[in-house]
Amino acid sequence: MKGRSMKSRLRTVGVVAAAFAAGATLGPVVAPPIVSAIAQETSGRAETYRLLNLFGDIFERVKAEYVEPVNDREVIEAAINGMLQGLDPHSSYMNTRSFRDMQVQTRGEFGGLGIEVSQEGGYVKVISPIDDTPAARAGVKPGDLITHINGNSVQGLTLQEAVDQMRGERGSSIKITIRRPGAEAPIELSLTREVIRPQVARFRLEGNDVGYVRLSSFNEQTDTALRNAIATMRRQSNNQLKGIILDLRNNPGGLLDQAVQVSDDFLNQGEIVSTRARRPEDAQRWNAKPGDITGDLHVVVLINGGSASASEIVAGALQDHRRAVVMGVKSFGKGSVQTVMPIPGNGAIRLTTARYYTPSGRSIQALGITPDVEVLATREEANAPLRDREAELRRALRNDNDTHEVPPLPPLNLPPGLVDQVQRMPPEGAPAFDATKPETDFQLQQAAKFLRAWVAAEPQRRAAR
């Protein structure tokens, strides 16, 4: 639904304010409001031209005086990228090759190490490693800062330049140096590049009665993969599934339309997500269509600090509608939408064009999704500060929940005492997490235990299905 808000009134307020300021400056000379507005616009345009001339002057000075000859395209592209990255952490310029790589990646197959990254303090910051990739197998973790690539510092490189260096021919090797919070010394890792074909949905039965689905990203294959996973587990369990655990931990996000479709898979009606842009008439809203692919099974969604963007849209939609219980720790907090705008013959720009809002109208930008039931992955997390989140990124977009009323979420309406059965952290001496051994995944085990107890406490609902 297109929003048609009070654009004309907002423009009028701006004109009146400009006219008042002009009148105050000019003293006794009072210009009509429209004349003042035109004068201000003309003055603003003249200032823009002066600044563009400044850019041209500096460009010519660099070409003429820099210690070594420069490549015009590289200098201009670096300037464009600097302009965009100066806005927020997620806007950037992609040259022709980078744009082509991005298109391949959204189709679900690309080359490299298998990490989603951003930039912080001049370093490359890992948002999340992708399952079953060289980075994940080498032990790269969310929050790691890549400081060197093949012994060379990444300081001074744009994010795209650093990413380009990490890409390469399949089978070629690369060394990266990582600075990890809490580690006393830098970590040196040697990896072999691969063609990355991430399995976007991994699934299995937990104890023959609980379906477990892990979504590693949101690309063009995600919704189809989720539907296949649910259908397969139904057959494997002889239609005896008690519930679904949807694991979005360390899922860095991806395509907005896939987040909408995945949310719709669990909802029969109501809003999924809305976006608000600079112009009120560009606001959009997506609603669910009838049809729940689980048949109204209970759902638990697992999130952590690596759950970002599209993951937070899904978690937020299911949480606001009380369709699922969200468990884990607070998510990353990326509540903005980037639009990829092709520049014919010159790649594309990725520009932040809107904030998104959960069905209750809340923005999670720089805040994240707070789980309904907190469960820590390790005991060490209990005393660890909330780092490696959107709010910590330089020039992160502000949260605007204070500009509109956000109603409280409806109560969970769970059976009495159910949440009290969940352990907040692993017991002393619990085995360290091993991705190949689900029994060491404390958050997952607590989710499965909670889900079974939830179903057992509501026999009437189960019988109704």
* Catalytic choice (88, 101, 131, 320): 320
Give the pLDDT of residue 12.
19
334 a catalytic residue: yes
* Catalytic choice (334, 336, 372, 388): 334
> Under a CB-based contact definition with an 8 Å cutoff, are residues 279 and 7 in contact?
yes
User: For the chain, which ranges sit under pLDDT 50?
Assistant: 1-31, 461-465
Do strands 243-247 and 145-149 pair parallel, antiparallel, or not at all (unpaired)? Answer: unpaired
Give the pLDDT of residue 335.
97
* Catalytic choice (91, 128, 217, 309): 309
Give the pLDDT of residue 362.
97
φ and ψ at residue 180, rounded to 5 degrees:
-110, 130
Give the pLDDT of residue 170.
83
Give the pLDDT of residue 181.
87
pLDDT in tens, 346-381: 899 999 999 999 999 999 999 999 999 999 999 988
Give the pLDDT of residue 6.
35
pLDDT in tens, 272-316: 999 999 999 999 999 999 999 999 999 999 999 999 999 999 999
Residue 242: alpha-carbon gap to chain centroid: 30
Give the pLDDT of residue 130.
82
